[in-house]
């Protein structure tokens, strides 16, 4: 059975499923109070959908502003990235996870060192302790460009993932410029805050089918630590967003991106834009993949919230390095990133 070397021999989810298990191992069973998987979705209560062309209008900027303030999430359509590339990157991710265990583990996350750089590779992203209940998710995490070598299989892996990352980056920058405009800031506000060497990475998630999906969570509730996340789903739904204390399912729109505000943007906007809890659930019949591209401040940047006489700072100034150190120490979880920075 395949093991994640970094975590001292913890089984990978995919290998558990392929071994033919009928019951979920205890290490993956979430506490009963966390296992409320029902989620609302009505026509009037869905994550907003924005067409890129709308962002060239005042009405579209207002719609973006409302989505970032009220939801912290929106779906983006009409973005112009070729459907064929989206199809290729989905196929490439699935093909990687179909490789024999030995080939996947050739790119395993191996280091126990508590640094973000050590988390690059295939495996399980940062397990704080031996008591941590594991998510039903295997992943590959890359910096763009990667620090480690690209996997050699599938043969097209590097070309497709690299091209995909090159397409998403200018889209993320455009969205940040529009968000700055919506806030009444100069278009370069976020680019300046993120610095000349922003954090840019991609997380490839694989959620195998689960024999007892009611006992597990694909990714536990959390808010994203960094700036902006641009997520490509497949046709299998599983993403849920928390709004007004309730979980809301995010429908899968063909070739749309799900975009969400991260913690550093909430800090920089002094709480105007919300970094919202979200999670992924799994099912018994189908596997699911998602591809998250992550863009945020460089490690050396100081995060300073926008303030005015009418709005004093809600968050203390903090460096990205300090925020990452607190995260990697295992002290923070869920919305703990923002509680750590918030001025009481």
DSSP letter for each residue of 118-137 = GG-EEE-S----TTPPPPS-
100 contacts: CB under 8 Å, gap ≥ 6: none
Residue of 336 and 232 predicted with greater confidence? 232
Q: What is the pLDDT of residue 6?
A: 45
Does residue 79 belong to any structural domain of this protein?
yes
Instruction: Check which CATH number belongs to the domain holding 205 and give it.
Output: 2.60.120.330
Q: What is the pLDDT of residue 45?
A: 78
**What is residue 250's three-state secondary structure?**
coil
Does residue 272 belong to any structural domain of this protein?
yes
**What is residue 26's three-state secondary structure?**
helix
pLDDT higher than threshold 70 for residue 336? no
Residue of 260 and 114 predicted with greater confidence? 260
pLDDT higher than threshold 90 for residue 305? yes
Bond from prior residue into 145 cis (ω within 30 degrees of 0):
yes
124: left (phi over 0), alpha (psi -120 to 50) or beta: beta
Under the banding of pLDDT at 50, 70 and 90, the label for residue 210 is very high
The C-alpha atoms of residue 169 and residue 2 are separated, in whole angstroms, by 34
Does residue 2 belong to any structural domain of this protein?
no
pLDDT higher than threshold 90 for residue 190? yes
Q: How many domains does the chain have?
A: 1
The C-alpha atoms of residue 54 and residue 63 are separated, in whole angstroms, by 9
Under the banding of pLDDT at 50, 70 and 90, the label for residue 337 is low
**What is residue 23's three-state secondary structure?**
coil
Under the banding of pLDDT at 50, 70 and 90, the label for residue 309 is confident
Does residue 200 belong to any structural domain of this protein?
yes
The tokens of 38 are what? 């029902």
pLDDT higher than threshold 60 for residue 7? no
Does residue 93 belong to any structural domain of this protein?
yes
Q: What is the pLDDT of residue 114?
A: 53
Segment 75-99, tens digit of pLDDT: 999 999 999 999 999 999 999 999 9
The predicted model scores a pTM of 0.93
The tokens of 52 are what? 């890129």
The C-alpha atoms of residue 167 and residue 23 are separated, in whole angstroms, by 41
The least confident of 125-134, 140-149, 272-281, 330-339 is: 330-339
- The number of CA neighbours under 13 Å toward the Cβ of 189 is 20
Q: What is the pLDDT of residue 314?
A: 94
Q: What is the DSSP letter of 315?
A: B
- Per the structure, the complete domain to which residue 75 belongs is given by 13-302
Does residue 343 belong to any structural domain of this protein?
no
Does residue 201 belong to any structural domain of this protein?
yes
Q: What is the pLDDT of residue 255?
A: 96
Residue of 182 and 34 predicted with greater confidence? 182
pLDDT higher than threshold 60 for residue 161? yes
Does residue 326 belong to any structural domain of this protein?
no
The C-alpha atoms of residue 274 and residue 262 are separated, in whole angstroms, by 8
């Amino acid at each position: 059975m395949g093991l994640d070397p970094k975590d001292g021999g913890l089984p990978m989810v995919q290998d558990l499923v392929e071994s033919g298990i009928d019951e979920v191992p205890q290490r993956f069973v979430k506490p009963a109070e966390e296992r409320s998987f029902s989620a609302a979705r009505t026509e009037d209560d869905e994550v907003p959908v924005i067409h890129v062309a709308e962002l060239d209008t005042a009405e579209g900027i207002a719609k973006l502003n409302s989505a970032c303030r009220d939801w912290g999430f929106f779906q983006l359509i009409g973005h112009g990235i070729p459907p064929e590339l989206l199809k290729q990157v989905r196929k490439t991710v699935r093909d990687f996870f179909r490789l024999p265990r030995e080939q996947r583990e050739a790119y395993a996350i191996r280091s126990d060192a508590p640094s973000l750089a050590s988390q690059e590779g295939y495996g399980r992203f940062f397990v704080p302790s031996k008591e941590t209940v594991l998510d039903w998710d295997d992943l590959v995490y890359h910096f763009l460009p990667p620090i480690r070598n690209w996997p050699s299989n599938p043969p097209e892996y590097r070309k497709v993932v690299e091209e995909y990352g090159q397409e998403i980056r200018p889209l993320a920058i455009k969205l940040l410029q529009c968000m700055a405009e919506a806030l009444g800031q100069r278009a370069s506000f976020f680019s300046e805050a993120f610095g000349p060497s922003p954090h840019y990475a991609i997380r490839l998630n694989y959620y195998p089918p689960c024999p007892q999906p009611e006992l597990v969570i694909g990714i536990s509730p959390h808010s994203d630590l960094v700036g902006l996340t641009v997520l490509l789903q497949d046709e299998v739904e599983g993403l849920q967003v928390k709004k007004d204390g309730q979980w809301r399912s995010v429908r899968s729109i063909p070739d749309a991106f799900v975009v969400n505000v991260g913690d550093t943007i909430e800090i920089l906007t002094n709480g105007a834009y919300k970094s919202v809890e979200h999670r992924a659930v799994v099912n018994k019949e189908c596997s699911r993949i998602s591809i998250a591209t992550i863009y945020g401040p460089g490690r050396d940047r100081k995060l300073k919230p926008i303030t005015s006489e009418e709005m004093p700072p809600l968050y203390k100034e903090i460096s990205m390095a300090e925020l990452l150190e607190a995260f990697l120490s295992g002290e923070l979880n869920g919305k703990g990133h923002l509680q750590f920075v918030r001025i009481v």
